[in-house]
């Protein structure tokens, strides 16, 4: 989300709140009332309403600008803002250009020639556009790069233009690759060693064949002063597989919250029904505190239990409807489908308009064969702004529906 003060999400059920969250229903309602939606669409480009940088919005907003027949001019003008505002505008405009907007294309090219954030814009369009849309800007790039304090990173378009670049620095080695498993385990058991040293040891072990001798050390591997496991620990435990299950039963009953949660997760990952009540309670607790980041992991574990996890369905629906962290929304829908698929036709249909690629893929796979869905599949199949995988999946599902006719 942007750093602007006093940014609060509108209620999840109103047009503004739906558009802020990137919900498919927001796009559908916007198409029904373009004049009411226009200010919210522009606001979504001007200010970053994503809960996290992994949330997707650019295609969602670009499609709204096009489909509502809004002017790209305010978005072009935003290129003159700060670096982040410029990049938000760039990612919308480069998609509009792919869809045929000459104003969007010309605005970006003009910024590359004269604008402040020209290098970032050039890198972005080089990644999105056909080469013949930007390779004639080589002379501009060479002239402007010569006036910059630093050389650009080694990537397109600089390589094609023959411009000297900086190499990406190599990641420093942890310095533990020469240690034996026994030495790494001794380091983990040493209460005098720092969290950072232990985390490095765990990363090294994660790249090796699993060792059961780690299991008794797990209760010692909470980050100081406590509250969460050291970051690489889960990956090491995943490699141990079912061998960690007996110990996980003891961890799940521990008074330390982080260790109890870790134990429940290991049990759930291996289909142990005793983990289910704790997972249901955890999801409810996460909802109570409106923890928007991470509940999809709990949802994924609940999904493994199918209908037995029915007690989680009401909270999963709340997270699907209201969570502004849009990249988690597909996870809630997948969990609902695994636990209780009844009544999800509407959710899968709405997902065809969702901001998240994964949600649109779920909609393509599961939305019912009705005229509205057929029409949307054709639109996704033919949209030059859409991701290639989505276009291909939409084409395949549309062909399946056509074969039924």
What are the CA-CA distances from residue 176 to residues 204, 216, 236, 238, 244 (Å)?
A: 7, 21, 16, 21, 24
- Confidence check: pLDDT of 119 > 70: yes
What pLDDT score was predicted for residue 167? 78
Structure token pair of residue 313: 């369905």
Mean pLDDT of 177-182: 90
Structure token pair of residue 248: 């996980």
Work out the mean pLDDT of the chain and round it to a whole number.
Answer: 94
Structure token pair of residue 245: 């299950």
Q: What is the spatial distance between Cα 115 and Cα 138, in angstroms, rounded to a whole number?
A: 16
Contact status, residue 222 vs residue 228, Cβ threshold 8 Å: yes
Alpha-helical regions (H) of 47-180:
58-67, 73-78, 83-98, 102-114, 118-128, 138-145, 158-161
Helix (H, G, I), strand (E, B), or coil: what is residue 166?
Answer: strand
Q: Which residues make Cβ contacts (< 8 Å) with residue 15, sequence separation at least 6? A: 26, 29, 30, 33, 36, 37, 40
- Confidence check: pLDDT of 6 > 70: no
The beta-carbon contacts of 252-256 under 8 Å, at least 24 apart in sequence, are 252/278, 254/219, 256/219, 256/222, 256/226
Q: What would the pLDDT profile of 127-164 be if each residue is shown by its tens digit?
A: 999 999 999 999 999 999 988 878 888 788 998 999 98
Contact status, residue 91 vs residue 124, Cβ threshold 8 Å: yes
Helix 24-32 and helix 58-67, axial crossing angle in degrees, nearest 10: 10
For the residues of 175-197, what is the DSSP string, one character each? S-TTS-HHHHHHHHH-TTS-HHH
What pLDDT score was predicted for residue 9? 95
Structure token pair of residue 53: 């940088």
Indicate the length of the chain as a whole number. Answer: 405
- Confidence check: pLDDT of 1 > 90: no
What pLDDT score was predicted for residue 99? 98
Predicted TM-score of the model (pTM): 0.92
> Which helix (H) or strand (E) covers residue 378, if one does?
helix 371-382
Q: Hey, how many other C-beta atoms are within 10 angstroms of the C-beta on 403?
A: 7
Phi-psi region of 306 (alpha: psi -120 to 50; beta: other; left: phi over 0): left
Q: What is the spatial distance between Cα 125 and Cα 158, in angstroms, rounded to a whole number?
A: 12
> Which helix (H) or strand (E) covers residue 319, if one does?
helix 313-322
Q: Where do we find the tokens 């997707």?
A: 56
Q: Which residues make Cβ contacts (< 8 Å) with residue 386, sequence separation at least 6? A: 59, 380, 394
Q: What would the pLDDT profile of 229-288 be if each residue is shown by its tens digit?
A: 998 999 999 999 999 999 999 999 999 999 999 999 999 999 999 999 999 999 999 999
Q: What would the pLDDT profile of 60-95 be if each residue is shown by its tens digit?
A: 999 999 999 999 999 999 999 999 999 999 999 999
What pLDDT score was predicted for residue 2? 57
Q: What would the pLDDT profile of 293-349 be if each residue is shown by its tens digit?
A: 999 999 999 999 999 999 999 999 999 999 999 999 999 999 999 999 999 999 999
**Percentage of residues of the chain with pLDDT beyond 70:** 96
What pLDDT score was predicted for residue 152? 86
Q: Hey, how many other C-beta atoms are within 10 angstroms of the C-beta on 324?
A: 21
Mean pLDDT of 9-27: 97
- Confidence check: pLDDT of 57 > 90: yes
For the residues of 258-310, what is the DSSP string, one character each? HHHHHHHHHHHHTT-GGGHHHHHHHHHHHHHTT--SSHHHHHHHHHTTGGGGG
What pLDDT score was predicted for residue 164? 87
- Confidence check: pLDDT of 4 > 60: no
Helix (H, G, I), strand (E, B), or coil: what is residue 40?
Answer: helix
Q: What would the pLDDT profile of 184-206 be if each residue is shown by its tens digit?
A: 999 999 999 999 999 999 999 99
Structure token pair of residue 128: 């999105």
Mean pLDDT of 96-112: 98
Q: What would the pLDDT profile of 207-235 be if each residue is shown by its tens digit?
A: 999 999 999 999 999 988 767 999 899 99
**Percentage of residues of the chain with pLDDT beyond 90:** 88
């Amino acid at each position: 989300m942007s750093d602007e003060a006093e940014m609060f999400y509108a209620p999840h059920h109103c047009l503004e709140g739906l558009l802020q969250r990137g919900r498919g229903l927001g796009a559908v309602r916007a198409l029904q009332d373009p004049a009411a939606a226009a200010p919210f669409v522009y606001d979504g480009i001007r200010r970053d309403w994503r809960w996290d940088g992994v949330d997707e919005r650019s295609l969602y907003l670009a499609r709204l600008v096009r489909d509502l027949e809004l002017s790209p001019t305010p978005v072009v003008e935003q290129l003159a803002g700060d670096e982040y505002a410029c990049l938000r505008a760039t990612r919308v405009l480069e998609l509009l250009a792919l869809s045929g907007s000459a104003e969007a294309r010309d605005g970006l090219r003009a910024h590359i020639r004269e604008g402040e954030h020209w290098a970032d814009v050039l890198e972005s369009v080089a990644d999105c556009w056909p080469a013949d849309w930007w390779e004639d800007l080589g002379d501009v790039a060479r002239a402007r790069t010569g006036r910059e304090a630093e050389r650009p990173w080694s990537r397109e378009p600089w390589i094609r233009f023959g411009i000297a670049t900086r190499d990406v620095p190599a990641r420093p080695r942890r310095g533990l690759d020469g240690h034996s498993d026994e030495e790494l385990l001794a380091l983990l058991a040493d209460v005098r060693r720092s969290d950072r040293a232990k985390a490095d040891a765990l990363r090294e072990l994660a790249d090796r064949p699993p060792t059961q001798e780690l299991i008794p050390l797990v209760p010692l591997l909470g980050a100081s002063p406590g509250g969460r496991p050291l970051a690489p620990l889960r990956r090491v435990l995943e490699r141990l597989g079912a061998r960690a299950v007996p110990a996980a039963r003891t961890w799940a009953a521990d008074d330390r919250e982080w260790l109890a949660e870790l134990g429940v997760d290991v049990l759930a990952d291996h289909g142990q029904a005793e983990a289910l009540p704790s997972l249901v309670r955890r999801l409810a607790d996460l909802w109570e505190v409106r923890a928007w980041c991470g509940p999809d992991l709990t949802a994924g574990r609940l999904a493994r239990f199918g209908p037995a996890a029915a007690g989680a369905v009401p909270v999963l629906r709340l997270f699907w409807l209201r969570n502004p962290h849009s990249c988690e929304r597909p996870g809630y829908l997948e969990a609902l489908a695994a636990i209780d698929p009844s009544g999800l036709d509407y959710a899968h249909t709405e997902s065809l308009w969702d901001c998240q690629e994964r949600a649109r893929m779920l909609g393509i796979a599961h939305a019912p064969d009705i005229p509205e869905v057929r029409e949307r599949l054709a639109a996704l199949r033919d949209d030059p702004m859409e991701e290639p995988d989505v276009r291909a999946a939409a084409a395949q599902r549309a062909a399946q529906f056509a074969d039924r006719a």
